Chain A
Amino acid sequence: QVHLQESGPGLLKPSQTLSLTCSVSGGSISSGNYYWSWIRQPAGEGLEWIGRIYTTGTTIYNPSLKSRVTISRDTSKNQFSLKLSSVTAADTAVYFCAREPEGDDYADSFGQGTLVAVSS
């Protein structure tokens, strides 16, 4: 049973860079047919898919965020990360990491989520 856990600062100032890490246990991020994804949810709102990284390291991003987003991985630590630059209050949300089986393209496992607030 795979387990995902997000970590990172919970409070940022406008223009700073959001950096979150997802630690994965019970499965390797560098093997198997899976994508490793980030999804966010502003308080009281719906879900927004940010992007994902494949086991080979290939990435794809939501065009609405592409200019500010980088998803990377550290296979030695079995972690993948999200960086979102130049944050504003609109980036305040709960951020989830997730696993997507290749071909089915749905998130079959999520982390518990971590709240990131952007405030001056």
Chain B
Amino acid sequence: DIQMTQSPASLSASVGDRISITCRANQSISTFLNWYHQKPGKAPKVLIYGASSLQSGVPSRFSGSRSGTDFALTITSLQPEDFATYYCQQSFNTPWTFGQGTKVVIK
């Protein structure tokens, strides 16, 4: 299975901050990397697919990037509704695997 390592495990930020979350694959996955966020008691929701494509309806403050096997999710101007847990997921090879998650909390 492809291993996805996400960092940090948690981060504290304020409304209006710019934050980045990183995800590293243990082998090449091209651009087959997706980002989700999840609020407590809710299902995940996709934000970014294909490393950098914004899912329809997702605000443009979310963006994704890739450098080799390193991927980043950036949120510019964090909003109150963005405090959640974020997961990366590789879809290069089955079984799809997820990062451990990054919990974004209010400072």
Contact = CB atoms under 8 A, between A and B. Distances in A.
Interface class of chain B by DSSP: loop
B98 A104 contact: no
A62 B98 CA distance: 13
Nearest to A100: B91
Interface of B: 1, 32, 34, 36, 42-46, 49-50, 55, 87, 89, 91, 94-101
A74 interface: no
Nearest to B90: A105
Contact of B91 (A51, A106, A111): A106
Nearest to B55: A108
Contact of B94 (A48, A60, A104): A60
Contact of B95 (A63, A98, A108, A111): A63
Interface class of chain A by DSSP: loop
A104 to B, nearest CB: 6
Interface in A17-69: 46-49, 51, 60-64
Contact of A47 (B42, B44, B50, B91): B44
Chain A interface bracket (under 10, 10 to 19, 20 to 34, 35 or more): 20 to 34
A110 interface: yes
21 contacts: A46-B87, A46-B98, A47-B44, A47-B87, A47-B98, A49-B89, A49-B95, A62-B94, A62-B95, A63-B1, A96-B43, A98-B43, A105-B32, A105-B91, A106-B46, A107-B44, A108-B46, A108-B49, A110-B44, A110-B45, A111-B43
Interface of A: 46-49, 51, 60-64, 96, 98, 104-108, 110-113
Given A49-B94, A108-B55, A113-B42, 10 more contacts: A64-B95, A96-B44, A104-B49, A104-B91, A105-B32, A106-B34, A106-B91, A108-B49, A111-B43, A112-B43
